[in-house]
Amino acid sequence: MTSTDFWFDDSSDEEESILELARSRKLLRDASNPLEMNSAALSREAFMDLLSSTYNLLQQCSRAKSIPTILKLATLLRFCAQGSYQLSIGNENTFGLVQPTVSVVLTEVLNILENSLCQRWIKSNYDEAELQQAKLYFFNISRIPGIIGCVDGAHIKIVAPKKELQHLYNNRKGFYSINAMIVCDHSMTIRYINAKCPGARHDCCCCCSNT
């Protein structure tokens, strides 16, 4: 007759492991400091100004109260700059947030920025008639309401700069350029242009730089 070995699992050990994992995740989230990260797209001063302008509203977020306000704002800005969860936020230890939580944070913080800051900082020089024409034009071709313009980046070719500056202007396409952000309306009229960034800078840096 063959013998059979039995193995008994102690559920208390499993529960302790789960609790330890939860504690470590919370410690990771609380210990992270986005202000210590190197960023060429947004300065510490600009980040702190944005944080102070939205701090009270971020504190009132109903579904993500346990997350520090500084991480909420940093998570949104990183997502907007990268355009992806998997390639940025979910791939690093600094934020320590899972994808469902990031989705909640994005929704709440975007609504706060749109309602409190965007109307004060982002202005167009359209009159009412031009607004209606632009919205109607873009709706007819896309069926998306509320669009009033298009934004994109463009590399404007320049003569090679001084040797010590060439690495700043040599873009990914292999020539020297200015990386410009341009906004145009439905009639292809340029409404805004920011041509302050050298060609080697990423597009998101041009969007975040001061005008």
CA distance 157 to 27: 49
Residues 6+ apart with CB under 8 A from 68: 29, 30
Looking at the structure, do residues 102 and 165 belong to the same domain, yes or no? no
**pLDDT reported for residue 211:** 43
Q: Do the domain assignments include residue 105?
A: yes
Apex 184 CA angle, 179 and 190, nearest 5: 80
Q: Which of 87, 105, 121 is the last residue of a domain?
A: 121
Looking at the structure, do residues 112 and 64 belong to the same domain, yes or no? yes
Q: Do the domain assignments include residue 35?
A: no
Looking at the structure, do residues 116 and 24 belong to the same domain, yes or no? yes
Q: Do the domain assignments include residue 164?
A: yes
* Residue 132: C-alpha distances to residues 27, 32, 125, 137, 183 (Å): 51, 46, 13, 8, 17
Domain that holds residue 149: 128-208
Q: Do the domain assignments include residue 1?
A: no
* Residue 177: C-alpha distances to residues 103, 169, 172, 174 (Å): 36, 6, 10, 9
CA distance 64 to 116: 19
Q: Do the domain assignments include residue 11?
A: no
Looking at the structure, do residues 95 and 146 belong to the same domain, yes or no? no
Looking at the structure, do residues 182 and 104 belong to the same domain, yes or no? no
Looking at the structure, do residues 24 and 97 belong to the same domain, yes or no? yes
**pLDDT reported for residue 30:** 45
Q: Which of 121, 142, 162 is the last residue of a domain?
A: 121
Looking at the structure, do residues 136 and 204 belong to the same domain, yes or no? yes
Phi, psi (deg, nearest 5) at residue 125: -100, 30
Pairing status of strand 150-157 against strand 177-184: antiparallel
Q: Which of 88, 121, 154 is the last residue of a domain?
A: 121
Q: Do the domain assignments include residue 10?
A: no
Rg of the chain's alpha carbons, rounded to an integer?
24
Q: What is the residue-level pLDDT of the chain in tens, covering all 211 positions?
A: 555 554 445 555 666 666 665 555 554 444 456 666 555 555 778 788 888 888 888 877 666 567 788 888 888 887 877 666 555 555 555 556 777 787 888 888 888 888 888 777 777 788 899 999 999 999 999 999 989 999 888 899 999 999 899 999 999 889 999 999 899 999 999 988 888 889 888 766 555 554 4
Looking at the structure, do residues 114 and 136 belong to the same domain, yes or no? no
* Distant-in-sequence contacts of 100-107, Cβ < 8 A, 24+ apart: 101/64, 101/67, 102/75, 104/63, 104/64, 105/61, 105/64, 105/67, 105/72, 105/75, 105/76, 106/75, 106/76, 106/79
Number of domains in the chain: 2
Looking at the structure, do residues 177 and 115 belong to the same domain, yes or no? no
CA distance 35 to 39: 9
**pLDDT reported for residue 142:** 92
According to DSSP, the residues that pair with 177 across neighbouring strands are 157
Looking at the structure, do residues 109 and 167 belong to the same domain, yes or no? no
Apex 111 CA angle, 206 and 79, nearest 5: 45
